[in-house]
Amino acid sequence: MMADSMNKEMTHAAADALVDEQKGKAGGLVEDNKTPEKSQKMTPRVFLNKVLSGTALGVIIGLIPNAVLSGILKYFGTNTFAVTLTQIAVIFQLATPLIIGGLIALQFEFNPMQMMVTAGASFVGSGVVKFNPAMKAYVGAGTGDLINTMITASIAVLVLMWVKDKFGSTAVVAMPILVGCGVAYIGVLEPV
């Protein structure tokens, strides 16, 4: 009898300790459902730091594979595997503006749709892929203009912060068109 009550007490104590541990891991903020990030006031400095953080990580992720692999694989000449892997690394590098846009949106804790709208607008606004009338095809080269990528992503973030949930049930259609394509259009405008 005494062993049973002792086991129950130990079980309750273990459960209480687990709950306390989980609260501790969450920073003691479980009950009021706040996170330190969301309570931070959005100042121009905080905004710029988030944009720069996303850009820095995106540049590293986007450029490192081609930089490393092309240096190593050039010694394999025309080996089919080496050539294909080098081409893959170049195509991956073309996605750098897309990666940057997604990581900038991640810094602002956007939901997946907002994240991809920002990433898509950044990709198009960077100018990494352009239509070539002579070839009648879209041609990708390099990483695009990283300053344009950052500006386009910043505008997309600002628009999404302003719009919030105003699209309602039409968000899945309206957000990519109005925010994604609209902001991307601003990104591809040529200076006069």
Cβ atoms < 10 Å from Cβ of 145 = 17
State the pLDDT at residue 38. 54
State the pLDDT at residue 164. 87
Give the contacts of 114 (CB within 8 A, at least 6 positions apart): 105, 160, 175
Choice between 60 and 38, residue whose per-residue pLDDT is larger:
60
State the pLDDT at residue 190. 81
Q: What is the pTM of this model?
A: 0.77
- Alpha helices (runs of H) in the chain, residue ranges in sequence order: 2-25, 36-39, 44-73, 80-94, 96-107, 112-126, 146-163, 171-174, 182-188
Asked if residue 21 has pLDDT above 60, the reply is: no
| Residue range 62-89, pLDDT digits in tens | 999 999 999 999 999 999 999 999 999 9
- Alpha helices (runs of H) in 26-43, residue ranges in sequence order: 36-39
The domain spans of the chain are 40-187
| Residue range 28-37, pLDDT digits in tens | 434 444 444 4
Cβ atoms < 10 Å from Cβ of 162 = 9
